[in-house]
Amino acid sequence: MSLVVVGTDTEVGKTVVSAVVLGRYARRRRLAYWKPIATGAEGETDTGLVRRWIGHRVEVLDEAYLYAPPVSPHLAARLASRPIEPEVILSQLVQHGLDDPLRNLVVEGIGGLHVPLTSQGYLLSHLLKDMHLPCLLVARSGLGTINHTLLSLEAIRERELSLAGVVMVGPRDKENKAAIEKYGDVKVTAEL
């Protein structure tokens, strides 16, 4: 089953979690990694990292939109005079499915759930709703994570997105984990 790895924020560990999921299930299933939108391409991209880490075991697909500056997608698109068209991403998602119906995708989101993708107010959460894929939520383990994770869970539920699980990244914090599980009414699937 395909899924989208989303985060409570930027730099929370979505790429690492994507690679771990790919590595965990690559023996049992044909898998591919796809990050449709990426900014900050002046250095090594997330796609490049995944290709280096696990590209020998899974297929790694190129981004639909790749921008150099490390800024919000809507701003990067405006600066590049190349707007993000959600229909293009959705069309590519369908095409990836048609290219290999037996292949499952691990799709990596960008930023947090409500990061704007277009200047018209189309958010990542809108794209997730249009994709119809379950979401694996990645959260930091440290200070501030309870609020960010509960807000993200609320956004997932408000949009009626399917939640595949919650992964906490960073030093283990049993109190934060317990609070997220209790107040978020969710089980933390894994801690990395």
Q: Which two tokens stand for residue 159?
A: 């949009």
For residues 67-96, average pLDDT: 97
Whole-model pTM: value is 0.95
How confident is the model at residue 172, as a pLDDT? 97
pLDDT value, residue 63: 97
What's the rounded mean pLDDT across residues 6-33?
95
Mean residue pLDDT of the chain comes to 96
Catalytic residues, by residue number, are 35
List of domains in the chain: 3-191 (3.40.50.300)
- Which of 82, 89, 85 has its CA nearest to residue 132? 89
| Model confidence pLDDT, tens digit, residues 118-156 | 999 999 999 999 999 999 999 999 999 999 999 999 999
**Strand 30-34, strand 103-112: pairing:** parallel
Mean per-residue pLDDT, 99-111: 96
d(CA 79, CA 66): 12
119: left (phi over 0), alpha (psi -120 to 50) or beta: alpha
Tell me: pLDDT of 1 over 90. Answer: no
pLDDT band, residue 43 (cuts 50/70/90): confident
pLDDT band for 41, please (50, 70, 90 cuts).
confident
Q: Please name the residue that has the structure tokens 């807000």.
A: 151
Q: Which residue has the tokens 């794209």?
A: 127
Q: Which of 111, 119, 114 is nearest to 74 (CA)?
A: 119
Backbone phi, then psi, for 64, in 5-degree steps? -80, -35
According to DSSP, the residues that pair with 165 across neighbouring strands are 136
SS3 62: coil
Which residue in the block uniquely carries the two structure tokens 């209790």? 182
Residue type at position 123: L
User: Averaged over 88-112, what is the pLDDT?
Assistant: 96
CA pair distance 50, 178, nearest whole angstrom: 31
